[in-house]
Amino acid sequence: MDSTRHRRAGAHGRTIAMGLAALAALGALVTAGPAERAPAPADRATPSRAPDPPAAAGTEPGTRGSRIAAEPCPRETLRVARMPYVIDMTRCDPRSALLEGPNGLGAVVPADGSSVAASSLGTAPGESMRTLVVRVDLARKLVVVSDQEPGGPRDAPGGPLDASGGPAAREPETVRAVAASPAPGTPAPAVAPIPACKDAAYRRDGAPLPSARRGRAVLKWWYYPGDGRVRRLSVAQQKRAFTLGVRIAVEGRNNCRLGRIAVRQSLMGHTWRPPGVISSGACGLADGRNVRGWMRFDQGEAMLGLTCKWFRRGKVIEGDVALNASGVTWTTGSGRCRGDTYDAVGVAAHENLHHMGLAHVDGAAHRNLTMFPAVGACEFHWRTLGRGDFLGLKRYYGTR
């Protein structure tokens, strides 16, 4: 009897001891100093210095094995003063925050780890095109902000390509450098545009449409009519601008006898969900639908349109296009044209080529191409693709 009582007392004492030890451990955890806690987020939207350059490929930035910070960046808009710019996600996580670049464009950083590119087309001669690209790299825990269009290399960095799509023969680098450096004060010589059917220049952004059955890409899209008020366009003409623009892009329509591109398109109907575009000139959130439509921008007549493109691992996820309904005078015909009127069909075709994976081709010599980054009032040549536009699509999708 006594031995049983002693065993029970011993077990009771051990239970009390274990409880006191657990309480002591909990007290130590609660009173732990700041050095033992998760790193605090950045306290300012715009750091006072540039962040450290990204680590070499295959390495992690900062401490090896560090995890993405649990705390988000400050809730106010993250303003980037210069590009390219790198945000270390171990310091603060900018996903779901609105990021604004120095060129006025912005984008909500995707929360799912995808990347986004915003490309606007303007009416001012010096600001005809602006681009903001936000690349999210979860493996390296970095967000890179730049003004370079997404994806692959420049297919035509300074001139045309040959008929097969490969680089045309060029002079040696040293010779071209001397020829391209006139004496100080000498005006640059005027460059005559290359005829559209002879200019084979193009650039691909590395993010084409995903392939469907039998390897043929399909562009499914929805039309958003907005409030129906667009200067000098009826409701029917407003929709017609997008239906024709999409058709020009997916078929690769041209006057060069190059055939047609092997892409199909399907208009899924009307939607009352607008494109993933913010009126301030920023890309909002993707919703899984490719939407084209009319929106009112805060910048008024300074912006013709805005394309937002979400992509991941070299494939486009979604592409939304919005044309400006708040100040620009549009037309869908190529007859009589006022001096302040822009071709809605050609602009829609240009923006759809962005969604399909083509990037801008710079240089005055390429002005006749649809992917030239500027268009003037009463110019209708974007309605037919040039040789370079067609070759860029052909390398992605083939012909039929």
Which tens digits make up the pLDDT trace of 86-136?
999 998 899 999 999 998 899 999 999 999 999 998 876 555 678 999 999
Residue 301: what pLDDT? Answer: 73
Residue 240: what pLDDT? Answer: 97
Residues whose CB falls within 8 Å of the CB of residue 64, separated by 6 or more in sequence, listed in order: none
Spatial contact of 123 and 300, defined as CB atoms under 8 Å apart: no
| pLDDT tens digits, 345-368 | 999 999 999 999 999 988 889 999
Per the model's pLDDT, the better-predicted residue between 44 and 245 turns out to be: 245
User: Six-digit token pair at 115?
Assistant: 């990347």
Omega of the bond leading into 84 within 30 degrees of 0 (cis): yes
- Tell which residue, 301, 299, 319, has the closest CA to residue 310: 319
Residues in the chain, how many?
400
Omega of the bond leading into 167 within 30 degrees of 0 (cis): no
Range with the lowest mean pLDDT among 30-34, 238-242, 250-254, 345-349?
30-34
Alpha-carbon distance of 42 to 74, in angstroms, equals: 7
Helix intervals (H) in 84-231: 173-179
- Tell which residue, 113, 39, 49, has the closest CA to residue 86: 49
Spatial contact of 142 and 86, defined as CB atoms under 8 Å apart: yes
Chain-centroid distance, C-alpha 377 = 26
User: Six-digit token pair at 335?
Assistant: 């007859």
- Tell which residue, 150, 396, 151, has the closest CA to residue 250: 396
Judged against a pLDDT cut of 80, whether residue 76 lies above it is answered with no
- Tell which residue, 385, 392, 325, has the closest CA to residue 349: 385
User: Six-digit token pair at 38?
Assistant: 């998760």
Q: Give the mean model confidence (pLDDT) for residues 144-172.
A: 53
Residue 154: what pLDDT? Answer: 55
Task: Label residue 214 by pLDDT band (50, 70, 90).
Answer: low
User: Six-digit token pair at 364?
Assistant: 């005055």
* CA atoms 244, 247, 251, 252: torsion sign: positive
pTM of the model: 0.76
With tokens 């020829």, the residue in question is 179
With tokens 């690209």, the residue in question is 133
Mean pLDDT score of the chain, rounded to an integer?
78
Cβ-defined contacts of 122-127 (< 8 Å, 24+): 122/302, 122/303, 122/304, 123/301, 123/302, 123/303, 123/304, 123/328, 123/342, 124/302, 125/374, 127/302
Judged against a pLDDT cut of 70, whether residue 250 lies above it is answered with yes
